[in-house]
Amino acid sequence: MTPRPATTGPVSQPEASDSYPRVIDELRWAQTVLSVAGVESPRADAEWLLASVLGVERGRLAVIDTVDTDVRDRFRGAIERRSRRIPLQHIIGTAHFGPAELTVGPGVFIPRPETEFLLEWAAAQSSSLHRPAVVDLCSGSGALAIAVALMVPTARVHAVEKSPAALEWLRRNVSRAGAEVASRITVHAGDVTDLEQMRALLPVGAVDVVVANPPYVPSAADVAPEVYHDPSDAVFGGADGMTVIGPMLAVIAELLRPGGVMGLEHDDSTAAQVMAAVDSTDRFGDVRAHTDLTGRPRFVTARRVAGADDAHGRMAG
Ligand SMILES: C[S@@+](CC[C@H](N)C(=O)[O-])C[C@H]1O[C@@H](n2cnc3c(N)ncnc32)[C@H](O)[C@@H]1O
């Protein structure tokens, strides 16, 4: 797979007429630079970056007329980095996900807004339960685990992640969420495709809700240059996007209590494969496909059925 090149071209900077550059001129210049570089939302990114440099809310920019030259220089540096298609969140150092603010950088996947559909579903499933047990498989920065813990104040959440680098970000984000939230989240280093390991780490047969946003992009897919700043193990799921999803289903079936539910994000091209894989386990019912606001297939949910083997204890793997 070859990253799409970031296109850049010379764009003249606003005149340094005095020591108080105008915000309107800097933003106009930045928007042009980012637009030429192929950034999808050039104006919004320019505003986020200027707000970050100034240390203010983005909405405050409307009432700021000028900046000093130090701010201008730092802003232009940030725009230069963004024009090289370094993700906005790596430059700012944080990403917002539902009610959570997460630190992110090299070594961890940047949470995507589209995963908030899965978050909303998981929070709705959990909030009617008494002290729900929730598991977030492939936790990355902890986006889903932390946001669920924030949205469902009685939830006990287990977050499982394999990558040592991502685990550092995950642990940092859990502790930044505050003592009360952190006390309800347990972080596990582990491989979600390893059934024996997951049996040893997690509450088998006692989980109410499992959420997972695993690596699922088919390896030949054409992705934006920013995606190459995410760890490839976080993004790509083999030729068919199913390398992690397939084996993980046996783990999810093992963890859920009968009647427990799971939500699994997938590539928009693999909804049918994911539903077929879930069906083929014979351990889930009520299998449903969910789309996002643009109508693209986004995640699959299913309910754990009680199987014949359950009456005799642990099911065969
Ligand atoms: C698409 S990212 C999702 C991160 C986070 N849940 C989110 O929604 O932003 C997938 C994550 O799964 C982790 N991962 C990949 N394979 C794994 C495995 N076999 N076991 C556990 N984690 C794995 C990656 O390191 C990465 O952090």
Based on the fold, state whether residues 57 and 120 are members of the same structural domain. no
Angle CA 263–244–242, to nearest 5 = 85
Q: Give the CATH number, domain containing residue 27.
A: 1.10.8
Structure confidence by residue, pLDDT tens digits, 37-76:
999 999 999 999 999 999 999 999 999 999 999 999 999 9
Q: Give the CATH number, domain containing residue 241.
A: 3.40.50.150
- How high is the pLDDT of residue 18? 60
Residue nearest to atom 6 of ligand 1 (CA): 139
Average pLDDT over residues 207-223: 97
Q: Does the residue 93 lie in any domain?
A: no
Q: Does the residue 11 lie in any domain?
A: no
Question: Which residues, judged by CB distance below 6 Å to any ligand atom, belong to the binding site of ligand 1?
Answer: 109, 111, 115, 138-141, 143-144, 160-163, 166, 191-193, 213-215, 231, 233-234, 244
Residue nearest to atom 26 of ligand 1 (CA): 234
| Distance from C-alpha of 302 to C-alpha of 98, rounded to nearest angstrom | 23
- How high is the pLDDT of residue 14? 73
- Residue 61 backbone phi and psi in degrees, to 5: -60, -30
Total domains in the chain come to 2
Q: Does the residue 277 lie in any domain?
A: yes
Based on the fold, state whether residues 112 and 80 are members of the same structural domain. no
Based on the fold, state whether residues 35 and 143 are members of the same structural domain. no
Q: Does the residue 140 lie in any domain?
A: yes
Structure confidence by residue, pLDDT tens digits, 269-309:
999 999 999 999 999 999 999 998 889 999 999 999 987 55
Based on the fold, state whether residues 115 and 198 are members of the same structural domain. yes
Q: Give DSSP secondary structure letters for 229-267.
A: GS-HHHHB-STTS-TTHHHHHHHHHHHEEEEEEEEEE--
Residue nearest to atom 4 of ligand 1 (CA): 140
Structure confidence by residue, pLDDT tens digits, 117-156:
999 999 999 999 999 999 999 999 999 999 999 999 999 9
Top-confidence residue, 263 or 11: 263
Based on the fold, state whether residues 160 and 56 are members of the same structural domain. no
Average per-residue pLDDT for the chain: 93
Q: Does the residue 288 lie in any domain?
A: yes
Structure confidence by residue, pLDDT tens digits, 90-119:
999 999 999 999 999 999 999 999 999 999
Based on the fold, state whether residues 138 and 251 are members of the same structural domain. yes
- How high is the pLDDT of residue 189? 98
Q: Does the residue 15 lie in any domain?
A: no
Give the residue numbers spanning the domain of 60: 23-84
Cite the beta strand spans of 2-150 per DSSP E. 94-97, 100-103, 133-137
